[in-house]
Amino acid sequence: MRRVLLIVGLVAILVGLCVHQFEGVAVLHEEKLETKTLSQFYPKGFDHVSKIAILNGSSGAKKTTTDKQSIVPFINSIKDIPFIPDENQERRVGFRYNVTFYNDKKSIFSFSMTNVDGHYYHTEPDLYPIVDTFYKQLNVEEIAP
């Protein structure tokens, strides 16, 4: 019985479900996702972000910046945008942009336009045009895959 519960638990972790044991019976239920902002996903704050790397999911190219005069306004423009959980949490393939924040050389937080911590979201307003504009205006060479 313990082995079955362990296997059920591992499967549940892989698909984003929670497992509870009730009188020896494993009970699965979906994790309740809430609408959150990036500031809520990363409550330590973004004041110490020293670098941003953006990976273009279409081309595989990456742009990075360490320019605080670009970083601060960009973060301020996106940190309070609500990420609203999608009803459909089935695994998807591909992404438009993936954004990673760094403190010095250490990655501290990463997300895509529709995925944070392995869960799928949409944003209102749409995050894509903001990140797309920022990516395109970065005056740095793209690093090809």
Weakest mean pLDDT among 21-25, 105-109, 110-114: 21-25
Q: Work out the pLDDT band at 112, boundaries 50, 70, 90.
A: very high
How sure is the predictor about 3, in pLDDT bands with cuts at 50, 70 and 90?
Answer: low
The token pair at 26 is 């494993």
**pLDDT tens per residue, range 69-97:** 999 999 999 999 999 999 999 999 999 99
Q: Which amino acid is at 68?
A: K
Structure tokens at 88: 């459909």
Q: What is the pTM of this model?
A: 0.77
Q: How many residues does the chain have?
A: 145
